[in-house]
Structure 1
Amino acid sequence: MFDIFRSLKTLLKTSRIRIDNTIFQLHYSITVIILLSFCIIISTKQYVGDPIDCVRSDSVSQSVINTYCWIHTTYTLPKSYYKKVGIEVPYPGVDWESNQNEFRYHRYYQWVGFVLFFQATLFYIPRWLWKMWENGKIQSLMMDLDVGVCSDHEKKQKKKLLVDYLYSSRGHHNWYAGRYFFCELLALLNIIFQIYALDKFFDGEFLTYGTEVIQFSQMDQEERIDPMIRIFPRVTKCRFYKYGPSANIETIDALCLLPLNIVNEKIYIFIWFWFLILGAMTAALILFRMIIIACPPVRVYLLSLRFKLGSLDHLHTIVRRMSVGDWFLVYMLGQNIDSVIYQELIQELATKTDNDGKKDII
């Protein structure tokens, strides 16, 4: 098992070439590792034991009743959560009731591992799309300028090639930036979709799960009902039907333990808070992208603050005479090129752009 966890560490390895931002990395790296780790944990019998263990009649073998109740789901009685344990009921939600309309069936536990794996896949899709669309553009333009130690002739030649490319290709990078912004938006839509999909998966309980757990910790001990037990019951009931000696239908009422739910309840309370925090950060990022697109001065100060560039005049010239896509490409190059070389690059690009602008006026 530990070998499997070690293999997940490859997702944490960061390339020396950065083609995205930290929040975007949280989606396809940290979140994917978290979800796959949870998937492995609940699938490992040595840590959580048997997923179900039922108290059965002597006329039916243990393996048969366990398999049947696992496949055909178990149930609880919501109205019995408020009864006193040990006096009126043996466990919250476990009671006798002949009316099956009162039953609340729990079908999710068979699919938790598959759902976690599917969620991890969805979180990686925006990254996969961006890598396909980016197609190594930043790496090809860098020309090893991330290494500050090189000959002056080589550095000068590579800077000239890069400046000439950035100047001659002005206005042709909007599609490049737009694809990246779309992937960030897709990451936000994915997390919103997953929150509502999990709410549907847990019969409308996931949206308020975290707030109910917080409220539960602040309530009076005699009046509170643990939402973890309600959503992830540890003891449930199961009805098994079989033919009796006279060919009549016999009903066996089994009491089932679900030790896996002790793990599930912790997993999903963590996922609830993680999705909330990650969704809020991603929404703020999308809002910031809209501000960047609408306000050119923000692009100037973002370059200045991010890369400690001194002359604002050069940055104003670049932003004024280049599109949002051009600015985005320049910004991404700044994350990968040596800081000293990058300052020289910005100065030369601004000078070339400004001089050609003056020629156009003349």
Structure 2
Amino acid sequence: MFDVFGSVKGLLKLDSVNIDNNIFRLHYKATVIVLIAFSLVVTSRQYIGDPIDCIVEGVPGNVMDTYCWIHSTFTIPNRMATEVIGKDVPHPGVRPHQEGDQVKYHKYYQWVCFVLFFQALLFYIPRYLWKTWEAGKMKMLVLDLNCPIIAEETKNERKKLLVDYFASNLHNHNFYAIRFFICEVLNFINVIGQIYFVDFFLGGEFTTYGRDVISMTEMEPEDRVDPMAKVFPKVTKCTFHKFGPSGTTTRIDGLCVLPLNIVNEKIYVFLWFWFILLAVVSGLALLYRLAVVLGSQARMYLLRAQARLAPRNEVELVARKCQIGDWFVLLLLGKNIDPLVYKELICDLARRFEGKEPV
């Protein structure tokens, strides 16, 4: 198991300088790790065995397995909705194909690992854009003031550099903040788009998948039709066309077991709940961001909470002088440098804005 997940351990490392927030990290760190881990699991045969095993008379098993994996398998949906395991047939959706039966082909299992990895890349794109646009600005401004031990003289010198920088670049950080806000919007658009993308990938079954699973648990056992078996059947059918000695085509029905779907059904139940939670949290974060952008009073309260050690009147003076971009940079600085140094920085900025030299 360590070999499977060892390749994603690099994503768990913490950045030395924080340039975003916890909700942003849920997208590019937590979700990316989950998706890559799931992609590795579905390709690890030592945990699930062969992804497909088919049984048919007159055709070698390995040939049938390869044929059905390439050409897909199928179930009969109208027999799945009316039959329950253990009552009429042993496997819902599987019976001899009769004329007029609606057939549902299952091809997704060939692509699950690739789709999961592709989704992980999509979740990382806003982070990549923000790192490119940010270009190490916050790391440059921190100036090692996030180190636990720093000489007093060095600290004062670097703090003065920060004060000088803000005094000379006041109101020049709006574009910096707007780019971050754009990435937050992209995160929300991405997770909503991912829900509908997976729904398309699974044939329109994903948007209600988790809800159907919950509804099934509330039903009486004899009335249950497992939605996971409908989307991810463990037993399906496959038709093999074999040429006989005279050149005629013989149609042979085979029964295929898909052990991989035991894993797939759990993966997509988890992803349904995770994407819904992530979409809700990201939507609330956008509402919060809108309130912050439109409300100067809200920005003042947040800066006071970040600079809780500084005098209230000096924090409010700095907040009144700052536009949204300046406020955003100051808030990020507060996440990265020592609280005592941050308090001194706010006090020195307040004195500079009042026309006094910082002490």
Give the TM-score normalised by the residue count of structure 1.
0.94
1:87 CA drift (Å):
5.7
1:32 aligned counterpart, secondary structure: helix
Equivalences, count: 355
Q: Which residue of 2 aligns with 1:360?
A: none
Q: How does 1:343-362 map to 2 (within 5 A)?
A: 343-355=343-355
**Deviation at residue 306 of structure 1 after TM alignment:** 3.3
Find the aligned partners of 1:218 and 1:86 in 2 and give their Cα distance: 19
Matches within 5 A, 1:1-362: 2-57=2-57, 59-81=58-80, 82-85=82-85, 88-99=88-99, 102-147=102-147, 149-355=149-355
Does the CA-based 8 Å contact 2:210-2:273 persist in structure 1? yes
How far apart, in 1, do the equivalents of 2:103 and 2:152 lie? 78
Kept after mapping to 2: 8 A contact 1:142/1:336: yes
Deviation at 1:172, TM superposition (A): 0.9
Q: What SS class does the counterpart of residue 272 from structure 1 fall into?
A: helix
C-alpha RMSD over aligned residues: 1.6
Is the contact made by 1:39 and 1:113 (CA closer than 8 Å) also made in structure 2? yes
Post-superposition offset of 1:195: 0.4
1:148 is displaced (CA, Å) by 5.3
More off after superposition, 222-231 vs 79-88? 79-88
- Larger mean CA deviation between 135-144 and 206-215 belongs to 135-144
* Alignment-mate amino acid for residue 280 of structure 1: V
State the Cα distance separating 1:245 from its structure 2 match: 2.7
* Contact 2:304 2:316 (C-alpha < 8 Å) held by counterparts: no
Within 2, Cα distance between the matches of 1:87 and 1:159? 76
Bigger drift between 16-25 and 210-219 goes to 16-25
The 10-residue stretch of structure 1 (147-156 or 284-293) with the greater mean CA deviation from structure 2: 147-156
Identity among equivalent pairs (%): 48
Change (3 A) 1:150 1:259: closer
Residues 19-65 of structure 1 show CA distances to partners (whole Å, capped at 9, x for unaligned) of 111111111111111111111111011111111111111x2111111
User: 1:279 Cα deviation (Å)?
Assistant: 1.4
Which digits, 9 at most, give the CA deviation of each residue in 1:227-269, with x for residues without a partner?
0000000000111111123222111000110000000000100
Alpha-carbon distance, 1:337 to partner: 1.0
Which amino acid counterpart does residue 13 of structure 1 have in structure 2? K
Structure 2 segments unaligned to the other structure (5+ residues): none
Q: Is the 8 A contact 1:244 1:250 kept in 2?
A: yes
Please give the alpha-carbon distance, in whole angstroms, between the structure 2 residues aligned to 1:228 and 1:136: 46
SS at match of 1:255: strand
> Could you tell me whether the CA contact under 8 Å between 1:80 and 1:89 is conserved in 2?
no
Cα 1:349–1:264, aligned 2, differ >3 Å: closer, same or farther? same
Give how far 1:308 is off.
2.0
How big is the shift at 1:99? 3.0
Match in the other structure for 1:359: none
**Deviation digits for residues 296-327 of structure 1 (CA, Å, limit 9, x no counterpart):** 11111112223424423222222222110010
| Distance across 2 between alignment mates of 1:87 and 1:27 | 44
The whole-number CA distance in structure 1 between the counterparts of 2:70 and 2:310 is 67
Say if 2:213 and 2:227, in contact at 8 Å, map to a contact too.
Answer: yes
d(CA) in 1 for partners of 2:85, 2:11: 46
Q: Aligned partners of 1:85, 1:352: CA distance in 2, in Å?
A: 77
2:107 alignment partner AA: R
Distance 2:48 2:344 in 1: 59
Q: Secondary structure at the match of 1:75?
A: strand
Measured in 2, the distance between the counterparts of 1:13 and 1:47 equals 27
Post-superposition shift, 1:85?
Answer: 4.2
1:65 corresponds to which letter in structure 2?
A: M
Matched AA of 1:71? I
Q: Provide the rounded CA distance (Å) in 1 between the counterparts of 2:24 and 2:266.
A: 25
SS at match of 1:105: strand
Structure 1 segments unaligned to the other structure (5+ residues): 357-362
